[in-house]
Amino acid sequence: MWLVFSLPMAVLAHSKESGKVDVDIQGPNLASVNAAVALVGSNDLMFGKNADRPVPIASVTKVMTALVVLESGAPLNEWLVFRKRHTSAAANAYSRIRIGSQMRRADVLRIALMSSENFAAYTLARSHPDGFDGFVEAMNAKAKALGMTGTRFVDPTGLSAENLSTAGDLVKLVNAAAEYPEIREYSTTNYFRGQFRKPRYSLSFGNTNALVHRDSWGVGLSKTGYLSEAGRCLVMVSNMNGKQVVTVLLDSLGTRSPMGDAGRIKRWLDTGASGKVANAARQYALEKNAAYNSAGHSTTAALK
């Protein structure tokens, strides 16, 4: 069971007049261009930064992929075949997995989440009871059911920059996904040796989020993502000063920037300190904000 706690005094100090946190005005300084922070179980934001802006989300997509797989009721012990893609991937889809080999659905889901294995995510969709196209339709239907009004999916991997969502919408997705123990377990597995058959072989996989290796963070759900159009992305449930917190960080410049942002959010929740980010990150944010603003009309039209 996920526990929800009251806001710490450092955060309450920001909300004396209105009773609400001033989203997009007060809060931690972040390298991420778009962000949202909420307590687990609540979709009300404690902090947001461009939280309603639809942007590419890269492999964060796979959280919705996992949700659709589990809600389909397809057996997790079923052996799935890794078939050659029936459509070209929108970006580099290199995989060490051999075409024609097989793996159990549970393990395919695990490596899709923990190691962001794109061929695994594709295979989960290809093996859906309603087929690949039906899987993508189910992703969008689930987004609608969750009230994710700024979200659209066109593929299950996140390789397409046309997969769009908002930081606020992703809080809703993470809260829904956190209800599933399989998603919590698989997405936070440190290392895994995957077993395949026909032919028989094994491969090692590691988690793409370094924070899952640190006990002090108590990471309960995790997904990273990267595309050149999306920047570095991270969604996570973690222990921040005794509270279970949903953190959504979208479009950071550097590989470690989302982790640095998570640390700044953690300190802000504890002390109210805003923290500092590097000049390069601030310049990146200025450039990306200008680009998002100039593309805003076309993005809005694409969601309709």
Positions marked catalytic:
59, 62, 116
Select from 37, 4, 38, 15 the least CA-distant residue to 261: 37
CB neighbours of residue 132 within 10 Å: 19
189/110 Cα distance (integer angstroms): 8
Asked if 222 and 188 count as a contact pair (C-beta separation under 8 A), the reply is yes
Taking a C-beta distance cutoff of 8 angstroms, is the pair 247, 265 a contact? yes
Instruction: Name the pairing type of β-strands 55-56 and 164-165.
Output: antiparallel
Q: Which one, of 27, 16, 10, 19, lies nearest residue 241 by Cα?
A: 10
